[in-house]
A and B are shown apart, each in its own frame.
Chain A
Amino acid sequence: MNTALLPIIIPLAGAAALLLFSGRRQAWAAIVVMALSALSGALLLAHTAAGPLSLRMGGWPLPIGIAVVADPLSAFFVFSSQIIFTLGFVYALGSKDACVRKPIFFPLYLTLAAGLNGAFLAGDVFNLFVFTELLVISGAALTALSDDPRGTEASLKYFLLSLAASGFLLMAAGLFYASVGTLNFADLARSPNEVRGPGFLWALALLTAFFATKSAVVPFHFWQPDFHTAAPTPVHAVLSSVVVKLGVYGFFRLTLLFPDQAGPLRQGLLVLGATGALLGGMGAAGTNDLKRMLAYSTLGQIGFITVAIGWGTPESITAGLLFAFHHSFIKSSLLMLAGAVASRAGTKGADFSNLAGLGRASPRAGILFLLAGAALAGIPPTNGFWGKFGIFRAGWEVHGTWGLLALAIAGGITLIYTARAYLRVWGPDVPATAKSAGDRLWAPFVLVGFCILMGIWPGPVWELADRTARWILDPTLYIQGVFP
């Protein structure tokens, strides 16, 4: 048994098995399955330290056979997403929402995890399509289940745009196949530059559009705030922190695997990322809904990572990876805290007018929110500082003046909107309509703990990001790993 398959098989098999249970027992079983999956993610990280694990499904020779490739980059993203997913499950266990009691909730949550892992580990374009569809349908169904009555509408928006994005991916697959006769990423990367016709460039462009839709990079972001706001809190916490990282992963992959074509792509990512950082920040500062604010903030922070990928130096790649890792922890904890506070509201919804003063009832959530908010704004001694510090330093070294300026403004806006959210929610007195109990704070407590720990002791994650960056900067290593 190859470790590369475990993060896909465990959640998938677990989802099927969970249909046999219901109620509390199902929730605990789901957490056990997810924890096993997280363990397999850690195992994967350890096994890929030396080089990629490549697996041919059914023993078919590559490039015709379906390849599952776990290289350090995939393992890095699988590992971080599995931790967040596990804590998302813990949050769902302590949630007061009605939708988490539905017997289909946890199986769908597990297929969401399986789809995400599969997409990270896919070794060819078509396999990427299959796992993304699994991810999309699970995510859309989970949001349609939401207690929020706007869930169906949000789900429809997301699903329509995702179908369009999948269409881009299929077109990219067709064009890749027509121009070089293969769909395997490693085989595509080793195809000589002379045989890549104009179709290859179009395919890369379509693939970029697909990844941009997945990550809600600026011109493709319209679904994101609506969809994420209406999702149930435990699902929102993973959607807005790790599921959006699929596109970021794709950008790392594309820019580093096709260095001959990466120039214009990097330029594009630089512009779109800077725009996204500004637009996301302004959207977050302008909205009147706490969950929506955090969804817009994801748009902005993804912009930071995209700009780092656009600079494309070893330092900026390291910093981008580091911030992607840290952002998962920060954003998911903030979302869980927002959801926990909103769960005490008399009426459903996360509008600031609805939440005003509710925080007073749970001062512990307030402390955690302040810490996580400081991390989002990049204030030491939290982990967010190191990621942003790395990005700014890398930008300084390449003299990326405009990008730096945009990011600095966006960073300032981040501080403004997190502070405003804190003052609006924790400032006024507790309203009379507040419920006495809300969602449990176990999961955000652990996540904020990690944020502080990684801020005080940034070494291990930094080393991991550095090692991963050094590995992916040489595309021949990936090709040799798949075709020894």
Chain B
Amino acid sequence: MNVLTPVTIGLLLGLGVHQILQRDPLRLFVGFILWSNALNLFLLAMGSRTGQFAPYSGNPAPTSDPVPQALILTAIVISLGGLMFLLTLLRRLADRHGQGDLDKAQDLRR
């Protein structure tokens, strides 16, 4: 198992969470892109439990497990839909409260 994969996953997750915690709506959005990609990479890494070669026929064993890769495909599609919905919500909220500071959206605090 190489060191690069876990380090990349950790960096992406950390950066993602850091951006999500910012006040700027666009940073929040970018943060979620990073976070979802970190998760996809995590799933991909889990496929290496059987080996690290790409699972084509004819490739020498040990090939990696293709199931997590199928999961990632679905996860990418779902996160795309989710992120677009998030963008719409952020747009509506920015229109209502002014751009650039989510802390101004405090209507629900009481």
Residues of chain A at the chain B interface (Cβ within 8 Å): 64, 126, 129-130, 133, 136-137, 140-141, 144, 149-150, 152-157, 159-160, 163, 166-167, 170-171, 173-175, 177-178, 181, 183, 226, 229-230, 287-289
Give A121 to B89 CA distance when docked, in angstroms.
Answer: 30
B68 to chain A, nearest CB (A): 6
Instruction: Assess whether B85 is in contact with A137, with CB atoms less than 8 Å apart.
Output: yes
Give A163 to B89 CA distance when docked, in angstroms.
Answer: 14
Q: Please tell me which one of the listed residues B49, B68, B71, B86 contacts residue A163 in the complex, with CB atoms under 8 A apart.
A: B86
Question: Could you list 16 further interchain pairs (A-B, Cβ under 8 angstroms) beyond the known A171-B39, A174-B68, A177-B67?
Answer: A141-B85, A152-B89, A153-B107, A153-B108, A155-B89, A156-B89, A160-B20, A163-B32, A163-B86, A170-B75, A174-B43, A174-B46, A181-B49, A181-B65, A183-B67, A230-B108
Instruction: Assess whether A226 is in contact with B108, with CB atoms less than 8 Å apart.
Output: yes
Contacts of B20 in A (CB 8 A): 160
Instruction: Assess whether A167 is in contact with B35, with CB atoms less than 8 Å apart.
Output: yes
Indicate the member of A140, A144, A166, A170 with the most B CB atoms within 10 Å.
Answer: A170
16 A-B Cβ contacts within 8 A? A129-B78, A133-B81, A137-B82, A150-B108, A153-B93, A156-B89, A156-B93, A157-B108, A159-B82, A163-B35, A167-B36, A173-B43, A174-B45, A177-B43, A181-B49, A183-B67
Residue of B whose beta carbon sits closest to that of A182: B67
Instruction: Assess whether B81 is in contact with A174, with CB atoms less than 8 Å apart.
Output: no
Which residues of chain B from 50 to 64 have any CB-CB distance to chain A below 8 Å in the complex? Answer: none
Give A128 to B68 CA distance when docked, in angstroms.
Answer: 15
Give A174 to B45 CA distance when docked, in angstroms.
Answer: 9
Contacts of B93 in A (CB 8 A): 152-153, 156
Contacts of A181 in B (CB 8 A): 49, 65
Residue of A whose beta carbon sits closest to that of B47: A177
Instruction: Assess whether B43 is in contact with A133, with CB atoms less than 8 Å apart.
Output: no
Q: Please tell me which one of the listed residues A140, A149, A289 contacts residue B110 in the complex, with CB atoms under 8 A apart.
A: A289
Contacts of B86 in A (CB 8 A): 156, 159-160, 163
Residue of B whose beta carbon sits closest to that of A126: B71
Instruction: Assess whether A149 is in contact with B108, with CB atoms less than 8 Å apart.
Output: no
Residue of A whose beta carbon sits closest to that of B106: A153
Q: Please tell me which one of the listed residues B39, B43, B85, B105 contacts residue A159 in the complex, with CB atoms under 8 A apart.
A: B85
Residue of B whose beta carbon sits closest to that of A63: B67
Residue of B whose beta carbon sits closest to that of A181: B49
Instruction: Assess whether B107 is in contact with A163, with CB atoms less than 8 Å apart.
Output: no
Give A234 to B74 CA distance when docked, in angstroms.
Answer: 31
Instruction: Assess whether A175 is in contact with B92, with CB atoms less than 8 Å apart.
Output: no
Residue of A whose beta carbon sits closest to that of B91: A152
Instruction: Assess whether B108 is in contact with A140, with CB atoms less than 8 Å apart.
Output: no
Residue of B whose beta carbon sits closest to that of A287: B110
B27 to chain A, nearest CB (A): 13
Instruction: Assess whether A152 is in contact with B85, with CB atoms less than 8 Å apart.
Output: no
Nearest 5 CB-CB pairings of A with B: A174-B46, A178-B46, A226-B108, A150-B107, A170-B39
Residue of A whose beta carbon sits closest to that of B84: A137
Contacts of A136 in B (CB 8 A): 82
A56 to chain B, nearest CB (A): 15
Instruction: Assess whether A178 is in contact with B49, with CB atoms less than 8 Å apart.
Output: yes
Contacts of B82 in A (CB 8 A): 133, 136-137, 159, 163, 166
Q: Please tell me which one of the listed residues A126, A150, A171 contacts residue B74 in the complex, with CB atoms under 8 A apart.
A: A126
A131 to chain B, nearest CB (A): 11
Instruction: Assess whether A130 is in contact with B85, with CB atoms less than 8 Å apart.
Output: no
Q: Please tell me which one of the listed residues A144, A166, A229 contacts residue B108 in the complex, with CB atoms under 8 A apart.
A: A229
Give A136 to B47 CA distance when docked, in angstroms.
Answer: 28
Give A141 to B65 CA distance when docked, in angstroms.
Answer: 36
Which residues of chain B from 87 to 110 have any CB-CB distance to chain A below 8 Å in the complex? Answer: 89-90, 92-93, 96, 105, 107-108, 110
Contacts of B35 in A (CB 8 A): 163, 167
Contacts of B92 in A (CB 8 A): 144, 152
Give A157 to B110 CA distance when docked, in angstroms.
Answer: 15
Residue of A whose beta carbon sits closest to that of B96: A152
Give A153 to B93 CA distance when docked, in angstroms.
Answer: 7
Contact A177 to B39, CB < 8 A, known contacts A150-B108, A229-B108: no
Instruction: Assess whether B108 is in contact with A130, with CB atoms less than 8 Å apart.
Output: no
Contacts of B74 in A (CB 8 A): 126, 130
